[in-house]
């Protein structure tokens, strides 16, 4: 008589022989390598920056708790704390915070850390009200504010003491003087910044497919905002002659051995502008925009400015900065008998 109760499928794990296990292991490895290859380079860079911020968050937390937790501790409490830190300390936009959560989670799982679903759910729950705040949503939007020499002086007056302050001042003044993108400033090398009698000869490396360029940075009239003096002071204090021009510094004042990330460059500029109490929020691009507009207002020729900034002759962004600098020069409404 046939069975009246349906038979349940056998859930006993299959026992594979050694040859099958070897092939399966090889396929697993090949799958991992393929999945890694198809991730776009900019996504990989983004994840690396997200993890660097996660590390910085743990350093910041260690100052307040007296204990440095392992970065692999991707827990519900830590991930929610990371969201709050990005919002209140870094003033990040909600969309940026959302991306950081993903970057940290993906990176952690990639190194074998088990991230509980409850942790990511809690982090995004903490993020939800931020996404409904128009002021927070506006963060990071629009054209970068162009920094002015007066604002650079304000930043100098508020700079912190010690090695970190020397690095920060040299970094933002160098970014301004070479009209550098954040990625270019991060890629600068100490051995290709050459001190000559007139100032500095700086090799700006190729980044993101853009060609390299060689620029000159003259001595400034104001010692407080002179990029040449700031660089020489930082170089001597840090004891660097080769390798990355700008290095991370630990909470205990020790130099790292790897270059700062572009994200770290942007954050150093924004943090120092905030400390100085500037009425506008500066970004990494503010130094580049500020150099172009300041140089133009000083009467410099377009081709000389473009040589410094690396803009193409037909760049809409470049000519936008020039128009901004020139808008009060021989204005159409000026001196017309009104």
114 secondary structure, DSSP code: -
Q: What is the pLDDT of residue 318?
A: 87
At 23-69, the pLDDT tens digits run 988 998 888 778 777 777 767 788 888 999 999 999 999 988 899 99
Quick check: 175 and 185 in contact, CB under 8 A?
yes
Q: What is the pLDDT of residue 213?
A: 95
Q: What is the pLDDT of residue 1?
A: 45
Q: Residues of the chain with pLDDT > 70: what percent?
A: 93
Q: What is the pLDDT of residue 93?
A: 85
Tell me the pLDDT band of 138, cut-offs 50, 70 and 90.
low
Alpha helices in the chain, H assignment, sequence order: 18-37, 41-65, 76-88, 94-110, 117-131, 134-137, 149-157, 162-177, 182-187, 227-238, 262-275, 284-297, 302-309, 316-326
Tell me the pLDDT band of 334, cut-offs 50, 70 and 90.
confident
Q: Alpha-carbon distance 90 to 52, whole Å? A: 13
Distances 150 to 153, 174, 224, 297 between C-alpha atoms, Å:
5, 16, 11, 14
Q: What is the pLDDT of residue 134?
A: 76
Count other Cβ atoms within 10 Å, centred on residue 60: 15
At 199-247, the pLDDT tens digits run 999 999 998 788 999 999 999 999 999 999 999 999 999 999 999 999 9
Q: Once rounded to an integer, what is the mean pLDDT over residues 84-110? A: 90
At 279-309, the pLDDT tens digits run 888 888 899 999 999 999 999 999 999 999 9
At 139-161, the pLDDT tens digits run 665 567 889 999 999 999 999 88
Tell me the pLDDT band of 89, cut-offs 50, 70 and 90.
confident
Tell me the pLDDT band of 2, cut-offs 50, 70 and 90.
very low
| pLDDT: which is higher, 316 or 192 | 192
Does residue 10 surpass a pLDDT of 60?
A: no
Q: Which residues contact 146 (CB under 8 A, 6 or more apart)?
A: 286, 289, 290, 292, 293, 294, 321, 324
Q: How many CA atoms lie within 13 A of 258 on its CB side?
A: 5
Distances 105 to 71, 114, 329 between C-alpha atoms, Å:
12, 9, 52
Q: Alpha-carbon distance 308 to 215, whole Å? A: 6
Share the mean pLDDT of the chain.
Answer: 88
Count other Cβ atoms within 10 Å, centred on residue 1: 3
Q: Which residues contact 295 (CB under 8 A, 6 or more apart)?
A: 304, 305, 308
Q: Which residues contact 281 (CB under 8 A, 6 or more apart)?
A: 91, 145, 270, 273, 274
At 167-183, the pLDDT tens digits run 999 999 999 999 999 99
Checking 188-194 for CB contacts under 8 A at 24+ apart, the result is: 188/244, 188/245, 188/246, 189/242, 189/243, 189/244, 189/245, 190/235, 190/240, 190/241, 190/242, 190/243, 190/244, 190/245, 191/241, 191/242, 191/243, 193/231, 193/245
| pLDDT: which is higher, 167 or 5 | 167
Backbone φ and ψ for 16, nearest 5 degrees, come out as -95, 150
Q: Once rounded to an integer, what is the mean pLDDT over residues 115-131? A: 93
Q: Alpha-carbon distance 210 to 216, whole Å? A: 19
Looking only at the bridges linking them, the beta strands covering 213-218 and 199-204 are antiparallel
Q: What is the pLDDT of residue 31?
A: 82
Residue 310, SS3 per DSSP: coil
Does residue 164 surpass a pLDDT of 90?
A: yes
Q: What is the pLDDT of residue 13?
A: 54
Distances 35 to 30, 40, 46 between C-alpha atoms, Å:
9, 10, 17
């Amino acid at each position: 008589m046939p069975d009246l109760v349906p038979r349940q499928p056998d859930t006993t794990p299959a026992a594979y022989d050694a040859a099958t296990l070897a092939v399966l292991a090889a396929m697993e490895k090949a799958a991992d390598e393929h999945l890694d290859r198809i991730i776009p380079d900019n996504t990989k860079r983004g994840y690396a920056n997200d993890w660097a911020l996660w590390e910085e968050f743990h350093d910041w937390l260690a100052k307040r708790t007296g204990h440095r937790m392992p970065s692999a501790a991707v827990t519900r409490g830590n991930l929610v704390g990371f969201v709050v830190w990005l919002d209140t300390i870094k003033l990040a936009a909600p969309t940026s915070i959302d991306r950081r959560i993903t970057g940290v989670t993906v990176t952690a799982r990639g190194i074998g850390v088990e991230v509980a679903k409850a942790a990511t759910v809690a982090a995004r729950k903490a993020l939800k009200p931020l996404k409904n705040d128009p002021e927070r949503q506006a963060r990071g939007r629009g054209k970068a504010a162009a920094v002015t020499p007066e604002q650079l002086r304000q930043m100098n007056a508020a700079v912190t003491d010690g090695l970190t302050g020397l690095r920060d001042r040299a970094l933002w003044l160098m970014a301004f003087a070479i009209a550098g993108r954040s990625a270019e400033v991060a890629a600068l090398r100490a051995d290709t910044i050459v001190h000559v009698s007139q100032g500095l000869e700086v090799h700006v490396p190729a980044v993101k497919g853009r060609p390299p360029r060689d620029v000159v940075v003259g001595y400034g009239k104001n010692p407080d905002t002179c990029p040449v003096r700031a660089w020489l002071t930082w170089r001597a204090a840090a004891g660097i002659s080769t390798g990355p021009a700008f290095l991370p510094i630990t909470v205990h004042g020790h130099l790292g051995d790897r270059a700062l990330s572009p994200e770290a460059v942007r954050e150093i500029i924004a943090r120092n502008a905030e400390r100085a109490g500037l009425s506008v929020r500066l970004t990494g691009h503010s130094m580049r925009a500020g150099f172009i507009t300041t140089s133009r207002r000083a009467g410099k020729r377009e081709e000389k400015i473009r040589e410094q900034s690396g803009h193409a002759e037909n760049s809409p962004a470049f000519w936008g900065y020039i128009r901004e600098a020139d808008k009060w020069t021989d204005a159409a409404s000026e001196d017309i008998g009104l």
